[in-house]
Amino acid sequence: MYQKMMIPIDHGNRNMKTEQFIFTSGLVESDSRPALGEYLYYDGRYYALTEQRIPYMRDKTADDRFFILTLFGIAMEAERQAFCKEDTILQVSLPVGLPPKHYGALYQKFQKYFSGRGRQSFTYKGKAYTIEIEQVSAFPQDYAAAMTIYPKISEFNKVVTVDIGGFTLDYLLIRSGKPDLSACDSLEKGVITLYNKVISRINSEHDILLEDSDVDRIIREEKTDYGAQIQKTVREMTRTYVDDLLGTLRERGIDLKTGCVVFIGGGALLLREYLEHSEKIGRCVFIEDIRANAKGYGLLYQIQRKGR
């Protein structure tokens, strides 16, 4: 028995996102079944998700880790949609994406990474799955996310998307609803760089080891165990980081005061208070759903299919 599924997945440096699920882009491999947590058994090895993210990879096809993470995403969506019956082969259409700057150079390689593997069998949470990835289509990140709010931005001739992710900051100019891939870039200025600077300074000045989640709580002004001086330092460093980030975009000829700026990604939501109060930005919109790229891939894939 065959069952067709479309499962868009956003392969982030910090998080993996499907249309319904978010999990850290990290896993551990072992010969034995994990004692706790969800696990996946594939090709004679056990894999479990972890909060320790994979180090930044510009080319995610370098090894099989992002393929294994993709199997987790497929299994989660199949389970949610009750497509995990015995003797069912899932025929998967897989819309994915890449940063606009890397799209032209890597999209064919990225599509090939997932396709041509034939029938794949694995076990997730004790249930057996058999899948065939039949169709892989890659789209530019950020443009995909922007298309999920197209009615809000359709009145503007120029829209700049700014995606603040884990390791990278990606920007793209959209002219009259179409992506201009000559006006885009991917900069290694994501929030992980802020975390590293903050953690290093606090460790140096106070001999205290912060974690990424501690920095997040301080930036959001949530309840924390750390003193006023540490909180002040973290917020000052965050303000400087945002000012430098916006200054970098200005130096590259990106005008943030006219048209509309669309902020995307978990990093943008974390820094929203700082961005909204910046004098360097005019009209802006925040996409609050960090799964927006994945949803946009699905939308663009359906449009693509209808156009054939």
**Entry pTM:** 0.84
Two tokens, residue 35 = 């004692």
Return the half-sphere exposure (C-beta side, CA atoms, 13 A cut-off) of residue 179.
21
Question: What are the backbone angles phi and psi of residue 214, rounded to the nearest 5°?
Answer: -65, -45
Q: Which amino acid is at 262?
A: V
Two tokens, residue 219 = 């930036």
Two tokens, residue 92 = 């998967």
Q: Do residues 68 and 43 touch, judged by C-beta distance below 8 A? A: no
The CATH number given to 2-139+295-307 is: 3.30.420.40
Two tokens, residue 107 = 């999209």
Q: What is the full per-residue pLDDT of the chain (308 aa) written as tens digits?
A: 889 999 999 998 888 999 999 999 999 999 998 877 789 999 999 999 998 888 888 889 999 999 999 999 999 999 988 776 778 899 999 999 998 988 988 999 999 999 989 999 999 988 999 999 999 999 999 999 999 999 999 999 999 999 998 888 999 999 988 999 889 998 989 998 999 999 999 999 999 999 999 999 999 999 999 999 999 999 999 999 999 999 999 999 999 999 999 999 889 999 999 999 999 999 999 999 989 999 999 999 999 888 66
- Same-fold call for 2-139+295-307 versus 149-191+223-288: yes
* For the chain, domain boundaries: 2-139+295-307, 149-191+223-288
Q: Do residues 116 and 95 touch, judged by C-beta distance below 8 A? A: no
Beta-bridge partner residues of 179? 174
Q: Residue 27: enclosing H or E segment and its boundaries?
A: strand 27-30
Q: Do residues 268 and 286 touch, judged by C-beta distance below 8 A? A: yes
Q: What topology is assigned to 149-191+223-288 in CATH?
A: Nucleotidyltransferase; domain 5 (3.30.420)
